[in-house]
Amino acid sequence: MQKIIFSLLLMTFFSQAILAQSTFIQNKIIAHRGAWKAKELPQNSIASLREAIRLGCEGSEFDVWMTADEVLVVNHDHELQGMDIETSTYEQLLTKTLSNGEKIPTLKAYLSEGMTQKSTKLILEFKPSLISVARSERVGELSVKTVQELGAQAWVDYITFSYEGGVKAISTDPKANVAYLNGDKSPLELKEAGFFGFDYHISLLRRMPQWIAEAKALGLTTNAWTVNKEEDMNWLLELGVNFITTDEPEKLATLLPSKK
């Protein structure tokens, strides 16, 4: 029996490794909160995820908060239509409806939808708690455990503004790809802490372009947010960043053929 279980675990590991290496699109385009702007879809909705997948984006970014009863939900702001997520229960949040008729997605529902395809990665941003650092760490830990529970590791990369939450996520799953958003850590500091890379604001990278080369030399990935100007997109492409997070994936897609 132990041999059978071990064999099944090996099969799962190798199938995920093959999936991660061979099927996901690699075109640098990360749709910020899904692809929502052109079609006026709700940000972070299942509909905006589906649109990012339809467009062929390399990744679709989304934001995760934890409710008072420790349900992980997908929403950008700390509140949903005036209701504070961290101090509300999930059942209370269900009294609100998104503009397209959807209810606020749980992380499990969002991941399950994303796992129905094998082309677009899911870029999970777990938000720093406004209540405590300990709660930020809890969100990081539960996010990783939820991904593990669903077997979604091959689909998911993580980003966060919470340094402590990022470190907790890495300790929960040392194989998890976790990038840091806040911009107050050098590439070397991130490397030493076990981060996968950085995902810094375009204005910071304009001031510190050398960090892109430093990160590359350390084997870290590089990403910039939120990049909506064509001149910034071209500049980042020239520097060879790994990813570009944008509200306008359609625009970025038109620039890519000339950079091949």
Q: Is residue 13 part of a domain?
A: no
Q: Is residue 17 part of a domain?
A: no
Query: CA Rg, the chain, in Å?
Result: 18
Q: Which structural domain, as residue segments, surrounds residue 100? A: 26-259
Closest CA to 31 of 47, 11, 16: 47
pLDDT in tens, 77-102: 999 999 999 999 999 999 999 999 99
pLDDT of residue 18: 45
Q: Interior CA angle at 143 toward 19 and 248, to 5°?
A: 65
Q: Which residues contact 130 (CB under 8 A, 6 or more apart)?
A: 78, 86
Q: Is residue 20 part of a domain?
A: no
Q: Is residue 165 part of a domain?
A: yes
**Number of compact structural domains in the chain:** 1
Query: Residue 137 sits in a domain of what CATH number?
Result: 3.20.20.190
State the pLDDT confidence band at 8, using cuts at 50, 70 and 90: very low
Q: Is residue 5 part of a domain?
A: no
Q: Is residue 202 part of a domain?
A: yes
Question: Can you give the pTM of this predicted structure?
Answer: 0.91
pLDDT of residue 260: 47
Q: Is residue 183 part of a domain?
A: yes
State the pLDDT confidence band at 22, using cuts at 50, 70 and 90: low
